[in-house]
Amino acid sequence: MVKDPNPDPGWYYNTRTNEVEHLERSRSADLLGPYPDEATARRALEIARERTRSADAADAAWNDD
């Protein structure tokens, strides 16, 4: 964790530890976010899956044109 004198107020999901982090965070490569609150950060993997499905559907629609 990094001690930051001006910490980012967002919430993050750590993909390495599967933990939610706030204020003091691990390295950026391991984080998804920021999210507005802890509950949303806990859903980070679900949100990422939803966004991937949506992007894949948009790509498929684009390729069908």
Question: Which residues on adjacent β-strands are paired with residue 22?
Answer: 11
pLDDT of residue 8: 83
Q: What is the pLDDT along the chain (65 residues), one digit of tens a residue?
A: 657 777 788 999 999 999 999 998 899 999 999 999 999 999 999 999 999 999 999 999 998 86
CA distance 35 to 42: 9
Question: Which residues on adjacent β-strands are paired with residue 13?
Answer: 20, 32
